[in-house]
Structure 1
Amino acid sequence: MSWLDQVKGSLGGESASGFLERLIPGGLQAVLDQLQNSGLGQQARSWLGKGPNEPITVEDLRTALSNEQVRAVATKLGVPIDQALEILAGRLPGAVDEASPDGELRTPPPEKPAA
């Protein structure tokens, strides 16, 4: 099973934004704040606004995110750090866009307890 299949399987019926919110320590808002503080605010704002989402590179994320965050994502996904960064670079713009339909990041509802 590929890592992409693992990620899709982990989602169940959950949105990509909800999944990344749980996956990334501090959630999407923490990532947006770190991108802003790292000089990558233009990309982050493009994901919140209407119009095309600007891409972000693995190197941009490596610079903006803490080692702890990246290690946590890699561990949760069961992939090497470089692959975790590739996944984030590919999924983060769309996930933030999905979580901000009105231009404001919406916090997903809390998880339902397991039955």
Structure 2
Amino acid sequence: MTDLTNIVQILAQQALGGQQQSQSGLGGILGSVLGGLGGGQQQQSQGGLGGVLGSVLGGLTGGQQQAPQGQAGGFNASSLLVAVVPLVLGWIQQNGGLQGALAKLQGSGLGDQVQSWVDPSQGNGQVDVQQIQSLFGGSQVEQVAQQANVPTNEVYGAISTVLPQIIDSLTPHGNDTDQNEANDDIQNVMNMVSGFLK
């Protein structure tokens, strides 16, 4: 079992301002965050990764947020971190699962950082926003930025914060982690997120 659900739960709790909701477990917490981010709108017809992101961010256009720690229109930096989780997990799936994504990251000059994320004994090395920009497709990032009413750079910044945490959480046993188990956990979280937003 990987720690992916734990990291998503922690991010979701941060987005809720640390409040414990009446729902229990990751599903309840995610539902609270994603439901709250939608401004109370029913998101019934959205599907796919774009729909998930659109739904998460659909109600967040109430104001500009320039400072990463700022809060505007019900939107905060923690909410953006939750919103990019499906983007990061989708990217991992599109690159052939955990193993393929790690190879792509290493091939992009992030070998040292990736090793620090995978190795439980090392701290998580930082990743440059410019390196993230070369990896993640502009259209999905622009969609998130438009709907959250933030500069695309902030979305890339959120990805650079979340990506190391997700890779770390997917590899609790370092290089000995079961890749299939990690990929199953990614799919489970993606199903859970899309389940709340269909």
Q: Normalising by the residue count of structure 1, what TM-score does the alignment of the two structures yield?
A: 0.67
Paired residue total: 103
Within-5 A mapping of 1:50-65 = 50=120, 51-63=122-134, 65=135
Note if 1:87 corresponds to 2:158.
yes
**8 Å Cα contact 2:80-2:158 kept in structure 1:** no
RMSD of equivalent CA atoms: 2.8
Note if 1:49 corresponds to 2:106.
no
- Pick from 133, 140, 147 the counterpart of residue 72 of structure 1: 140
Note if 1:32 corresponds to 2:96.
no
**8 Å Cα contact 1:35-1:41 kept in structure 2:** yes
Equivalent residue letter for 2:79: Q
Change (3 A) 1:49 1:4: same
- Pick from 58, 79, 96 the counterpart of residue 6 of structure 1: 79
Number of the residue aligned with 1:23: 87
Structure 1 residue 59: Cα displacement:
1.5
Structure 1 residue 98: Cα displacement:
1.1
Change (3 A) 1:70 1:98: farther
| Distance (whole Å) between structure 2 residues aligned to residue 74 and residue 3 of structure 1 | 18
| Distance (whole Å) between structure 1 residues aligned to residue 151 and residue 101 of structure 2 | 20
Q: Point out the structure with max Rg over C-alpha.
A: 2
SS at match of 1:56: coil
- Identical-pair percentage: 21
SS at match of 2:109: coil
